[in-house]
Amino acid sequence: MIITKFMDLPCSIKAFSRSNADGSYTVILNTRLCREQQEEGYMHEIEHIKKGDFDALDDANDLETIRHRR
């Protein structure tokens, strides 16, 4: 299950996600951005979930660097 919430974030952050104790995920979208940017951020976070990044032992910043090289 993926729960989506909206929050005021710095404009440099489109979205972020976290895994929850019950096995679900929460994706937070930035309310300060336009819908297109929110959708881009959402899809980016969904890719992290699909690729099992929350199960990886790597640092989140390292994972971002790896994902953006592809």
pLDDT in tens, 10-46: 999 999 999 999 999 999 999 999 999 999 999 999 9
* Number of domains, the chain: 1
Question: In terms of Cα–Cα distance, which of 10, 67, 19 is closest to 44?
Answer: 67
Host H or E run for residue 11: none
pLDDT surpassing 80 at residue 61: no
CA distance 29 to 14: 6
Sheet holding 15-19, edge to edge: 2-7, 25-30, 15-19
pLDDT score, position 55: 76
pLDDT score, position 62: 62
pLDDT band of residue 70 (cuts 50, 70, 90) is low
Determine the structural domain holding residue 27 and report its residue range. 2-69
